[in-house]
Chains A and B, each alone.
Chain A
Amino acid sequence: GNSVTQMEGPVTLSEEAFLTINCTYTATGYPSLFWYVQYPGEGLQLLLKATKADDKGSNKGFEATYRKETTSFHLEKGSVQVSDSAVYFCALSAQGGSEKLVFGKGMKLTVNP
């Protein structure tokens, strides 16, 4: 079946450090890939997405590239801020849209000043 595997953490970084969160997936066909972020006490918010191979999603300084050859969608940010402290979820939709998203287990990031 479809699945997502991501780094689970927790991870603690200092402000301005480089961030990479690995995410790999298993799916048939051509899924859409997403990163969601959950700030403390809130629901998930879409951070970025990519719908086909080699697409790059970007938002708020975060980037992720859809790599079909390695079935990966790693999240990166060059310089994290304290306000980036949150839980990050990688997800896929096998139907290519937002239906029935399959999520990874989430990774908690804490950024210290």
Chain B
Amino acid sequence: DSGVTQTPKHLITATGQRVTLRCSPRSGDLSVYWYQQSLDQGLQFLIQYYNGEERAKGNILERFSAQQFPDLHSELNLSSLELGDSALYFCASSVASGTGSNSPLHFGNGTRLTVT
């Protein structure tokens, strides 16, 4: 058990809808990362938050947004959903205090999103 909790485990929704994925990091971890895993694109980094502030941005679409709350949990919001957004979304956390930290990432078990 990595200590990272993601909810829900599965989500099925229709095109055009909006969903929210939730992540609780491991106790003591200040950084939260979001990744998208799809068959054709592999594992893509979306965004990182550290202690409530955005730290790094990857291939995140404008329809997607995220935030990290004072209690350090994070939410990833996906709107105007398209069929191509169907994927496994992973959250990871680390104690990383900043750039260059060697603290490992601890991954949750993911949320499987299916857009129909």
Which residues of A line the B interface, CB within 8 A? 32, 41-46, 49, 51, 89, 95-106
Which of the residues B31, B92, B102 comes within 8 Å of A96, measured between beta carbons?
Answer: B102
Q: CA separation between A95 and B45, bound complex, in Å?
A: 14
Is B48 an interface residue, CB under 8 A from the partner? yes
Q: Is the CB of A45 within 8 A of B42?
A: no
Contact A99 B56 (CB under 8 A): yes
What is the predominant secondary structure among interface residues of chain A facing chain B? loop
- Interface size band for B: 20 to 34
Closest Cβ of chain B to A66, distance in Å, is: 14
Q: Is the CB of B102 within 8 A of A32?
A: yes
* B107 in contact with A98 (CB, 8 Å): no
Mark B residues whose CB is within 8 Å of A.
Answer: 2, 4, 31, 33, 42-43, 45, 48, 55-56, 58, 90, 92, 94, 96, 99-105, 107-110
Question: Which residues of B sit under 8 angstroms from A104, Cβ to Cβ?
Answer: 42
Are B104 and A101 within 8 A (Cβ)?
no
**Contacting residues, chain A, for B58 (C-beta < 8 A):** 100
